[in-house]
Amino acid sequence: MAKHVSETPATQFLRKAGVAFTEHPYAYEEHGGTAVSARELGVDEHCVVKTLVMQDDAARPLVVLMHGDCKVSTKNLARQIGVKSVEPCKPEVANRHSGYLVGGTSPFGLRKAMPVYVEKSVLSLPKIYINGGRRGYLVGIDPALLPSLLSVTAVECALPE
């Protein structure tokens, strides 16, 4: 039996929304990223989704949900969302915007409302594993639920890692 993980703002958000999800705690490794979580859970890294807090040229925060085995083409993303540039936030800035620690950032239950962009192909996966609001903890969820939960905008900005 998997050990129970205490509630996070993300799990509270999902329970309140009445969404079915599975819990997947694993041994977190500093800077291990999605390669470690995919290995620990025995799932394809393509189905592990990173939650990235970025900002545009006016320092407005935004969230990008990307396949674990891909990186964001900030140039393509900026063009698609109509801004000059997009760059990752510094960890302490990302923590402040999201209310989570980098490495444990979930798109659910964010401290601050931010636009959420999702790589379009993520939405067609049968199931995704996404951070549940703490390091070493993913939740499994049907990605088809993302648009209604987060009012996401689909974008195409994936590059191979």
Length of the chain: 161
Phi-psi region of 28 (alpha: psi -120 to 50; beta: other; left: phi over 0): beta
- Band (1; pLDDT cuts 50, 70, 90): very low
Q: What pLDDT score was predicted for residue 4?
A: 58
Percent of the chain with pLDDT over 70: 97
Question: How far is CA 43 from its chain centroid?
Answer: 16
Q: What pLDDT score was predicted for residue 41?
A: 97
- Please identify, in words, the CATH class of the domain defined by 9-160: alpha beta
Q: What pLDDT score was predicted for residue 2?
A: 47
pTM over 0.85? The answer is yes
Residue 111 CA to residue 56 CA, distance in Å, equals: 19
pLDDT digits (tens, 9 = 90+) for 113-147: 999 999 999 999 999 999 999 999 999 999 999 99
What are the boundaries of each domain within the chain? 9-160
Q: What are phi and psi of 134, to 5 degrees?
A: -160, 160
Q: What pLDDT score was predicted for residue 5?
A: 64
Residues 6+ apart with CB under 8 A from 86: 54, 55, 56, 57, 62, 72, 74, 77, 78
Q: What are phi and psi of 119, to 5 degrees?
A: -60, 125
